[in-house]
Amino acid sequence: MDAQLARRRADASSHPIHGEAARGQVSPEYKAWLGIKSRCYAQNGKDYANWGGRGIAVCERWKNSYLNFLDDMGRRPSPEYSIERIVNSLGYEPGNCRWATRIEQGRNKRNNVRLTAFSKTKLMVEWAEEAGIHYRTLYMRIKAGWTPERAVTQPLEICKTKGRQCKTTSN
């Protein structure tokens, strides 16, 4: 437990529940904790269908104890981070949650497209970045029936006008 959390627990007399809402300010960690509970249990909430409606739940250790959540998760590293479940089919629990950036979270979604080339499976966006091509270019190559290996290694032709990417038609 960090020193700040220990001080808050010791000072909980002024904020009897958790010590995290001093002077009307609610900590980002407390907001995250409220958010995960809302997504999992507020059946009329806009997010319920994608979390609680799919059976995602908050573990018993965290469900009714913000301080247990904070002990396990620690403080958010910076404002760019929010809570993420590592395995999306599992619930909010120690070992399956971390603080992650928007980019990291975007790469950990159920609808991400994976591609296997050269016996390696990665997100299609990762293959595109590695190959130096746009995601859409790679996607259209695969959709057109190109092998994954060809799709990620075929160089692009550069259009003579305005430096745009052009479709490569050669093998």
- pLDDT tens digits, residue range 65-108? 999 999 999 999 999 999 999 998 999 999 999 999 999 998 88
Predicted local distance difference test score (pLDDT) of residue 158: 60
Within-domain flag for 10:
no
Q: Which of 4, 76, 2, 3 is nearest to 35 (CA)?
A: 76
Overall number of domains in the chain: 2
Contact 91, 58 (CB under 8 A): yes
Q: What percent of the chain has pLDDT over 70?
A: 78
Where does a domain end: 63, 78, 106? 106
Give the pLDDT band (50/70/90) at residue 23: low
What is the pLDDT of the chain when averaged over all its residues?
A: 84
The one-letter code for the residue type at 2 is D
Within-domain flag for 90:
yes
Question: pTM above the 0.75 mark?
Answer: no
Domain that holds residue 132: 114-166
Q: What percent of the chain has pLDDT over 90?
A: 61
**Mean pLDDT computed over 119-126:** 91
Q: Do residue 83 and residue 144 come from a single domain?
A: no
Q: Are strands 157-158 and 120-123 parallel, antiparallel or unpaired?
A: unpaired
Contact 150, 125 (CB under 8 A): no
For residue 125, give both structure tokens: 């966006």
How many H helices and E strands in the chain? 8, 6
Q: For residue 13, is pLDDT > 50? A: no
Q: Do residue 66 and residue 131 come from a single domain?
A: no
Q: For residue 11, is pLDDT > 50? A: no
Q: For residue 157, is pLDDT > 90? A: no
Q: Do residue 87 and residue 119 come from a single domain?
A: no
Within-domain flag for 148:
yes
Q: Do residue 25 and residue 69 come from a single domain?
A: yes
Q: Do residue 69 and residue 132 come from a single domain?
A: no
Where does a domain end: 106, 136, 153? 106
Contact 149, 118 (CB under 8 A): yes
The H or E element spanning position 122 is strand 120-123
Predicted local distance difference test score (pLDDT) of residue 7: 53
